[in-house]
């Protein structure tokens, strides 16, 4: 079957990380072309013999050194036929979360640099990449209502205040802390480790860890995790 079509397919990845108490997103610096030296989302053109998800994983790995197994399809951007000034390109965007402290970044192929950018300080990006990031953030916020997503973002052991701060950072607003604590602890998938962490002159904090087995059980039963705001 011969199809006369002049449309190209790209994949882009919005990878969120939590570091220095703030939500970050991973960007790469373009190494060539019209947008040389500008920061963009990791991504690129799909190969003819490559599945969409495989293409997204490959581009992320090639351009940033980051190997992520669980990417979630976010949305396909292609209503604006001029979203890429170089050619007609539709982009299948993916969303993922990761813990930056566990990662070694390495720019390669089309990218000459890679870095975590604080979410609220993202500059104006080429293409519709700001819109992709906004859509990804909206999805991330929505996910908080039906599944806790702290697993990949926090350290293995963390004070409760870290989880609280993570949620406030993603939601970009204050939550009702007492209600949040009650709900989270009620799910029973957080465990006290028995260890404590001292920070500054403040009260030493109990360290918690996730119990993945209990978490999976809760998911199967269906959790409904509505967050109340302060």
* Binding region for its own copies (CB under 8 A): 1, 3, 5-9, 33-34, 45-54, 73, 75-76, 78-81, 86-90, 92, 224, 226
Please say which residue, 9 or 205, places its beta carbon nearer to its own copies: 9
Please say which residue, 73 or 155, places its beta carbon nearer to its own copies: 73
What's the closest the beta carbon of residue 150 comes to its own copies, in angstroms? Answer: 22
User: Measured between alpha carbons, how far is 114 from 39 in angstroms, rounded to an integer?
Assistant: 9
Spatial CA neighbour of 149 closest among 92, 96, 194: 96
Longest dimension (CA), the chain: 71
Beta-ladder partners of 26: 116
What's the closest the beta carbon of residue 173 comes to its own copies, in angstroms? Answer: 14
What's the closest the beta carbon of residue 175 comes to its own copies, in angstroms? Answer: 15
Spatial CA neighbour of 130 closest among 168, 83, 177, 63: 83
Using left for φ > 0, alpha for ψ between -120 and 50, and beta otherwise, residue 194 falls in left
**Rg of the chain taking only CA atoms, in angstroms:** 20
Three-state SS string over 89-132 comes to: EEEEEEEEEECHHHCCCCCCCCEEEEEEEEHHHCCCCCCCHHHH
Please say which residue, 102 or 228, places its beta carbon nearer to its own copies: 228
What's the closest the beta carbon of residue 40 comes to its own copies, in angstroms? Answer: 15
What's the closest the beta carbon of residue 149 comes to its own copies, in angstroms? Answer: 17
User: Measured between alpha carbons, how far is 83 from 56 in angstroms, rounded to an integer?
Assistant: 19
Read off φ and ψ for residue 111, nearest 5 degrees.
Answer: -110, 140
Please say which residue, 54 or 113, places its beta carbon nearer to its own copies: 54
User: Torsion over CA of 182, 187, 191 and 192, rounded to 10 degrees?
Assistant: 10
Please say which residue, 51 or 202, places its beta carbon nearer to its own copies: 51
Please say which residue, 86 or 102, places its beta carbon nearer to its own copies: 86
Q: What stretches of the chain show up as alpha helix (H) in DSSP?
A: 52-64, 129-143, 160-171, 177-186, 212-221
What's the closest the beta carbon of residue 141 comes to its own copies, in angstroms? Answer: 12
What's the closest the beta carbon of residue 10 comes to its own copies, in angstroms? Answer: 9
Please say which residue, 82 or 201, places its beta carbon nearer to its own copies: 82
């Amino acid at each position: 079957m011969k199809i006369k079509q002049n449309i190209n397919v790209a994949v882009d990845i919005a990878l969120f990380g939590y570091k220095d108490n703030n939500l970050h997103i991973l960007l790469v610096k373009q190494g060539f072309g019209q947008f040389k030296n500008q920061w963009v989302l990791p991504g690129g053109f799909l190969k003819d013999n490559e599945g969409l998800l495989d293409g997204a994983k490959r581009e992320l790995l090639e351009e940033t050194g980051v190997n992520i197994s669980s990417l979630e399809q976010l949305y396909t951007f292609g209503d604006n036929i001029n979203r890429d000034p170089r050619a007609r390109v539709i982009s299948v965007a993916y969303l993922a979360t990761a813990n930056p402290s566990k990662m070694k970044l390495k720019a390669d192929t089309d990218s000459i640099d890679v870095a975590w950018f604080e979410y609220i300080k993202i500059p104006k990006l080429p293409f519709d990449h700001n819109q992709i990031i906004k859509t990804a953030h909206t999805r991330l916020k929505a996910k908080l209502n039906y599944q806790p997503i702290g697993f990949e973002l926090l350290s293995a052991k963390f004070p409760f205040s870290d989880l609280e701060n993570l949620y406030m950072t993603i939601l970009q607003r204050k939550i009702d802390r007492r209600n949040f604590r009650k709900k989270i602890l009620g799910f029973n998938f957080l465990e006290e480790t028995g260890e404590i962490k001292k920070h500054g002159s403040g009260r030493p904090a109990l360290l918690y860890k996730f119990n993945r087995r209990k978490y999976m059980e809760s998911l199967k039963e269906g959790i409904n995790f509505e967050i109340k705001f302060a």
